[in-house]
Amino acid sequence: MKPPGEAFYPRPRVLIAEEEVARRVRELARTISAEYADAGEIVLVGVLKGAFVFLADLARLLTVPHIVDFIAVSSYGTSTASGEVRLELDLRSRLEDRHVLIVEDIVDTGHTLHYLRELLSARNPASVATAVLLRKPDRLETVVATEYVGFDIPDVWVVGYGLDLADQFRTLPYVGQLDDEEVLAIKRGRTP
Ligand code: IMP
Ligand code: MG
C-alpha cells in the first residue's frame, strides 16, 4: 500500500497480455536454443534495468548452456534523439571467442543497441546477436540488427515486464500502455 501523500499511479491499459508475452518468450527460447545448439556456452548480456524480467524468463527456458551477465547504459539528455549513449556499468565476463547474446527490453531509436553491438563486437567475441522483447519500427533512426524480436509495437510508451516510466511499473506482469497525458503527468511528478 502507498503511504499517504505518495503519488498514485494509473493502471496502464493492456497492450500485450501476460499469457501472450509468456507464449512468445517460449517461442523465442525454442528458436534461440535450436540456433545455438552447437555453439557451446553462450553469454547472455542483460541490459539493465529494463531487461531483467525478460532475461530471467528467457534464460530459464533455454536448453543450451549459458551464463548471465549485465551491462548498464544511459542516454545523454532527456531524449535519445541525440544518439549519445554512455556506459554506466560494464560486464565482468570476458567475451573473447564466446557467443554473445544481448538481451534488451525494447528498441526505440536503435541508438542504444547500436552502441552496445559496437562496444561488444570490439572485444573479439565469436559472434554477437540480439534478442529484444519489443521494437517500435516507426521510431527507428539507425540501422541495427535485431536477430530475435518478440513483438513490433506502435509508437506508444509501454511499461511493465521490466519496462518503466520514472522507475515505476517494472514489475507489472503484462506490457501496458500509457497515453501522452499520463506520461507527461508522471514525468512532472503529478498524478494525471
Ligand atoms: P533507443 O536507444 O532509443 O533504442 O532506446 C532504448 C531504450 O529507451 C530502452 O532500452 C528503454 O530503456 C528506453 N525506452 C524506449 N521506449 C520505451 C518505452 O516505451 N517504455 C520504456 N522504456 C523505453
Ligand atoms: Mg533499456
| 81-102 pLDDT tens trace | 567 899 999 999 999 999 999 9
Give the SS3 label for residue 83.
Answer: coil
Q: Which residues are within 8 A (CB) of 81 and not within 5 positions of it... i.e. 6 or more apart?
A: 109, 141
Question: Who has greater pLDDT, 4 or 49?
Answer: 49
What is the chain's mean pLDDT, rounded? Answer: 93
Kindly state the helix (H) or strand (E) to which residue 151 belongs, with its residue range. strand 148-152
- Give the residue whose CA is nearest to atom 19 of ligand 1: 157
Q: Which residues contact 160 (CB under 8 A, 6 or more apart)?
A: 12, 169, 170, 171, 172, 173, 174, 175, 176
**Pairing outcome for strands 42-48 and 127-135:** unpaired
Contact predicate 25/150, CB 8 Å: yes
Angle at 142 between CA 86 and CA 164, to 5 degrees: 55
For the cut 90, the answer to whether the pLDDT of residue 2 exceeds it is: no
The one-letter amino acid at 162: G
Rounded CA-CA distance 112/165 in Å is 17
For ligand 1, what atom is nearest to the CA of residue 50?
12
How much distance in Å is there from the Cα of 126 to the middle of ligand 1? Answer: 27
CA of 136 to the centre of ligand 1 (A): 9
Ligand nearest to C-alpha 170: 1
Please name which ligand lies nearest the alpha carbon of 80: 1
Higher pLDDT, 161 or 8: 161
What is the position in ligand 1's atom list of the atom closest to the CA of 112? 2
Per-residue model confidence as pLDDT tens digits over 137-177: 999 999 899 999 999 999 999 999 999 999 999 999 999 99
Q: What is the mean pLDDT of residues 182-187?
A: 92
CB within 8 Å of 5: residues ≥ 6 apart: none
- The best mutation among 13, 53, 106, 179 to test binding of ligand 1, ranked by most ligand atoms within 8 Å of the C-beta, falls on 106
Residue 48 C-alpha to ligand 2 middle, in angstroms?
6
Q: What is the pLDDT of residues 99-122, one digit of tens each?
A: 999 999 999 999 999 999 999 999
Whether 69 is a known active-site residue: answer no
In this structure, is the dihedral angle defined by the CA atoms of residues 82, 168, 107 and 128, taken in order, positive or negative? positive
Whether the CB of 64 sits within 6 Å of ligand 1:
no
Q: What is the pTM of this model?
A: 0.93
- 18-31 pLDDT, tens per residue? 999 999 999 999 99
